[in-house]
Structure 1
Amino acid sequence: MAEKQHEISPGREPSIDEGQFAAEKQMRDIGADLYLEVRQYSREELEAERKVVLRKIDWVIMPMICMTYTIQFLDKLSLNYANAYTLTPDLGLQGVRYGWVAAIFNFGYLFWALPANYLIQRLPVSKYTGTMILLWSLLLCCHVAAKNYAGILALRFLLGMFEASISPAIMNIVSMFYTRSEQPLRMCVFLAFNGMATMVGALLGYGLGHANSPHIKTWQLIFLVIGLLNFVWAWVFLWVMPDSPSSAKFLTHKQRIVAIDRIASNMIGVKTKQFQKAQAIEAVLDFKVLCLALIGLCCGVINGGVSNFSSSLIRGFGFSGIYATLLQLPTGAIEFIIIPVCGIAAGYFRNTRCLILALICLPPLAGLLGIRLTPLSQRWSLVGCTWLQYIVGAPVILSWNLLTTNIAGHTKRSTANGIWFVFYAAGNVAGANIFFAREAPRYYSALTGLIVCYCAMVVIAGVLGVWMWWENKRRDKLYGQGDNDEGIQDGFRDVTDKEARHFRYAL
């Protein structure tokens, strides 16, 4: 029931009364006016355009998102790749200092996570996001001028601030253009491009490692090249990416109406710009949001450790710096393949998101146990176990999808997204600081922490799935099967999932 599409028999108009729909004070959704125009066309006309509209959206929106995610993740990995060369001695980052340079990015992310989500709600999302890309590209180029510990700390903090917007902005865009059943695959595809970034970054780091210049160090060259790539892409993003289906230049007016009609079945509307305090409080007290935030915390701990210390791990297994960079190439391929497979499964098999989230935690958990127990003499086995840690993108994206499909009310969803990213950033801070240099190459404290995180995610995903299943059954018993037309009205009125009687959760 949770993923049933909006079905209206041929010739039947949406049941929303036009006068009431336009006059109600609460109706501020940016897609509401276009949805009123649905009645100008027969159901046959609209259905005939749905596949064309989806194909156009896929050919424009998805490449933009995938490329944005690739270059953004390159930014995050740049420190890891730079660390394979002379970054640490050149800037005096020995001992705990490198850990704090890795962590300070997440303090910036943590600081800006909630404000970013509220700005995304209030501002044109593509213009805001493109501006953030432009600003962080300039910051990356400024890394070249860093001379000491204090300088690199300041730059990484600001970089974290500006990058805090990207993931919630992309989640917002996906929810505006895709139906519930379409979202898992698309979200997994774009996050899989983190794997593409890992492959590109590993090749880039390896190639730039062979560049010898008396004027610029290898680590400086890495930051400069990635920064310039981001700078160019910022202008492309600002030119091409629409702020909503209502303003998509690549769609005709009729196709924009069809695009709004398609996502109306999500029962969350398109977007409202007004902040509602009651919805923010509801998000803070929501059991689902708490569960997903705890999953975000666990994912953050794992990501903070793996993304910043994989080079250190591999070097500890007996590989030189330049090969430690090259050996991260397969991790990108693993991520690029596994994450879309999870998306296909979650989209094809109804109500399996929580189950798949729990199951996908098991391979990297086994990898962590392998790193802890395998003799150092079997260094290729240890490298293989390290590669498995890059599957962490799958639980990240599945938890995002659970947020976008199960939280209604725009202020509530902005708050819930902000809470998730606050917990995720806090986890990244912790993850970057549990790898103690004295414990190299095993890092026993870090491995224990990561193992606990994966076990916790398995349990929380199971609890969340059962809770949402029980809540759906309770609502069916009280209100009967959900009514799509009424649910669509609630979505355009910015009613929350807790208040909407016809809303059902996608497990």
Structure 2
Amino acid sequence: MTTDIKDPQIEHLDASTTEKSQVLITDEAWVQREKKLVRRLDWTLMPMLWVLYLFNYLDRNNIAQAKLDTFEKDLGLTGNQFNVAVSILNVGYMLMQLPSNMILTRVRPSIYMPAWVAAWSVVSASTALVHNFSGLIAVRFILGITEAPFFPGAYYVLSCWYTKKELALRIAILYSGLVLATAISGLLAAGIFSGLSGARDIAGWRWLFIIEGVGSFIAAIVAFFVLLDYPESDTGAGKWLFTEEERKFAAERMARQEVSNQESNRSVWYGLKLACMDYRMWIFSFILISNHTAYGFNNFYPSIVRGFNLGSRTLGCQLLSQTPEKRACVGAIINLMSQLGNIWSPYFFSPGDEPRYTKAMILMVAFSVASMIGCWTMKLILRRDNKKLIAAHEADWNMVRDGYDVCGC
């Protein structure tokens, strides 16, 4: 009589072999399902966020085009008061970004984000009602608060649906909304100033704020019906865009990409703690601060062009995110810190230096160099971290391979 005794290690390896075979069999089907899901996201989620980001930028920076009209004269702005109006928006922006993203992990993005878009649209349009410097400062500060939740929120929502390898391209596409907004802002202002200045006794710059505010409000209404919540949610547009099986698949593929050192603590405050302890976040913050400072000329670009007689008032040209809560906090903090560049850069442009702004241009170049140094430093750090991850995975694989050799598999 013989007894069938199985070695637990061999039994485990046999199970692993069977599981790996099943994975190989379904790999092609998995890829096809991924392609179908990503394609649908690219034609629904991405376009809506892109349009909202375009309006986010237009409504935030139309003050630069308004300066070409009678904006300063009508409001009685003198000295550096225009600079203060540009800068104060970013104070409100900084105050709201982090709390907003911490809230976002607990609410429905399909309601939360369009609500903020509608709010900033009303605030931006109300700039047309301003008649003095103090009123302008109040409106710009509130505009910063209402616009703050959008970009870090959009980044977080994208990171919940797209894997790390897919996300970089989508963020680049999202940023193209900013580029297009920069390109068309002057054309929109030109058309409004030439066609509506004085209509119904309303100045052209006031029409600019009204029209662009109405445009973004309409986009907000559409977003209520088009934006997605989270993959595991059966609410929002995902309820009719995806079947329950497809939503489960979307959630599973996001879970598969996470590294093994996942944290079980899902507290938003613990996520904030993890974010603040990650030194890579602070390097990214330095990079964006430098980048935004170097980009500070954008609010004065139309004036620079006009100063050189080149136009007229109608023509302007891999963090290791252990939890979703940490990912939300990291994105918000990096964007929050970057607003420091937007706060201090307007003060580089002294009214007496117009149109060359020599001091400001030297500082822009200096911060551009600082941004490049920060990027290079982060590249070296991430390359080192990737080597450690590869070495760890190779060690794990060697242990499995040695186990196979022992049992003769």
Report the TM-score, using the length of structure 1 for normalisation: 0.68
Q: Is the 8 A contact 2:117 2:217 kept in 1?
A: yes
Tell me, yes or no, if structure 1 residue 233 matches structure 2 residue 214.
no
Give the Cα–Cα distance (whole angstroms) in 1 for the partners of residues 191 and 264 of structure 2.
Answer: 47
Q: How many residues align?
A: 371
CA shift, 1:184, in A, is 1.5
Q: Which amino acid aligns with 2:135?
A: G
Aligned counterpart, 2:207: 221
Matches within 5 A, 1:248-267: 248=238, 249-267=240-258
Q: Displacement, 1:240? A: 1.1
Structure 2 counterpart of 1:306, one-letter code: F
Paired residues for 1:473-492 under 5 Å: 473-478=387-392, 480=394
1:83 shift after superposition = 1.0
Label 1:220 to 1:275 Cα distance change in 2 as closer, same or farther (>3 A).
Answer: same
The match for 2:70 is 86
Structure 2 equivalent of residue 281 of structure 1: 273
Are 2:2 and 1:11 equivalent residues in the alignment? Answer: no
Equivalent residue number for residue 97 of structure 1: 81
Question: Cα offset for 1:53?
Answer: 1.4
- What does residue 115 of structure 1 align with? 99
Aligned-partner residue type, residue 216 of structure 1: I
Does residue 420 (structure 1) correspond to residue 334 (structure 2)? The answer is yes
1:299-314 aligned at under 5 Å gives the runs 299-303=291-295, 305-314=296-305
The answer on whether the counterparts of 1:9 and 1:43 sit within 8 Å (CA) in structure 2 is no
Question: What is the TM-score when the length of structure 2 is the normalising length?
Answer: 0.84
Q: CA deviation at 1:114?
A: 1.4
Deviations 1:350-396 (A, max 9, x none): xxxxxxxxxxxxxxxxxxxxxxxxxxxxxxxxxxxxxxxxxxxxxxx
* 1:256, distance to aligned residue in structure 2 (A): 1.6
Give the equivalent residue in structure 1 for 2:132: 148
Aligned CA distance change for structure 1 residues 196 and 475 (closer, same or farther; 3 Å): closer
Name the counterpart of 2:365. 451
- CA deviations over 1:150-207 (Å, ceiling 9, x no partner): 0011001001011111111110121111122211111111210112222332221010
> Retained in 2: the 8 A contact 1:168–1:417?
yes
- After TM superposition, the structure 1 = structure 2 runs for residues 435-446 of structure 1, keeping only pairs within 5 Å, are 435-446=349-360
Q: Which amino acid aligns with 2:363?
A: G
SS at match of 2:163: coil
Q: Which residue of 2 aligns with 1:499?
A: none
Higher mean C-alpha deviation, range 280-289 or range 160-169? 280-289
Is this contact kept in 1: 2:348–2:359, CA < 8 A?
Answer: yes
Match of 1:176 among 160, 166, 180: 160
Correspondence for 2:284: 292
| AA at the equivalent of 1:145 | L
Please tell me whether the aligned partners of residues 102 and 268 of structure 2 are also in contact (alpha carbons under 8 angstroms).
Answer: no
**Paired position in structure 2 for 1:472:** 386
Distance 1:272 1:244 in 2: 19
Residues 271 and 410, structure 1, Cα contact 8 Å, conserved in 2 = no
Q: What is the distance in 1 between the residues matched to 2:22 and 2:392?
A: 31
Q: 1:280, CA displacement in angstroms? A: 2.3
Whole-Å separation in 2 of the counterparts to 1:253 and 1:65 = 23
Q: Do the aligned residues in 2 keep the contact of 1:66 with 1:193 (CA within 8 Å)?
A: yes
CA deviation profile, 1:270-310 (whole Å, cap 9, x unmatched): 9999425444233223221111010121122123x223111
- Worse-superposed segment, 462-471 or 407-416: 407-416
Q: Residue 46 of structure 1 contacts residue 258 of structure 1 at CA under 8 Å; is this kept in 2?
A: no
| 1:250 alignment partner AA | L
State which drifts further: 261-270 or 127-136: 261-270
**Alpha-carbon displacement from aligned partner over 1:48-72 (angstroms, at most 9, x marks no partner):** 3222212111111111111111111
**How do residues 122-137 of structure 1 correspond to structure 2 at under 5 angstroms?**
122-137=106-121
The one-letter amino acid of 2:334's match is: W
Secondary structure of the corresponding residue to residue 103 of structure 1: helix
- The aligned counterpart of 1:48 is 32
Structure with higher Rg: it is: 2
Q: Spell out the pairing of 1:172-211 with structure 2 (5 A cutoff).
A: 172-210=156-194, 211=196
User: Could you say which structure has the higher helix fraction?
Assistant: 2
Rounded to whole Å, the distance in 2 between the matches of 1:222 and 1:273 is 48
Name the counterpart of 2:16.
none
CA deviation map 1:65-116 (0-9, x unaligned)? 1111111111122111111100011011222000000001101101112112
Tell me if structure 2 keeps the 8 A contact 1:295–1:460. Answer: yes
Aligned to 1:407: 321
Contact 1:53/1:258 (8 A) holds in 2: no
Looking at structure 2, the residues matched to 437 and 272 of structure 1 have their Cα atoms a distance apart, in angstroms, of: 54
Matched AA of 2:361: L
1:432 maps to a residue whose letter is: P
Amino acid at match of 1:220: R
8 Å CA contact retained: 1:296, 1:420: yes
Question: 1:265 and 1:439 mapped to 2: Cα distance?
Answer: 56
Contact 2:110-2:225 at 8 Å conserved across structures? no
Distance 1:157-1:481 versus aligned 2 partners, 3 A rule:
farther
Q: Distance in 2 between matches of 1:120 and 1:481?
A: 39
The amino acid across from 1:143 in the alignment is T
Q: 2:230 aligns with which of 229, 236, 244?
A: 244
Hey, what's the Cα distance between the residues in 1 that align with 2:396 and 2:206? Answer: 57
- Using a 3 Å threshold, how does the CA distance of structure 1 residues 481 and 142 change in structure 2: closer, same or farther? farther
Distance in 2, matches of 1:239 and 1:479, equals: 43
- Cα separation, partners in 2 of 1:268 and 1:221, compared to 1, 3 Å: farther
Cα 1:180–1:475 shift into 2, 3 Å: closer
Amino acid in structure 1 at the alignment position of 2:56: Q
Q: Residues of 1 paired with 2:389 and 2:222: CA distance?
A: 46
SS in 1 for 2:105: helix
The 1:422–1:51 alpha-carbon spacing in structure 2 relative to 1, beyond 3 Å, is closer
Cα distance, 1:478–1:56 mapped onto 2, change above 3 Å: closer
CA shift for structure 1 position 267: 0.8
Aligned twin of 1:77: 61
Q: Secondary structure at the match of 1:242?
A: coil
Alpha-carbon RMSD across the aligned residues, in angstroms, is: 2.5
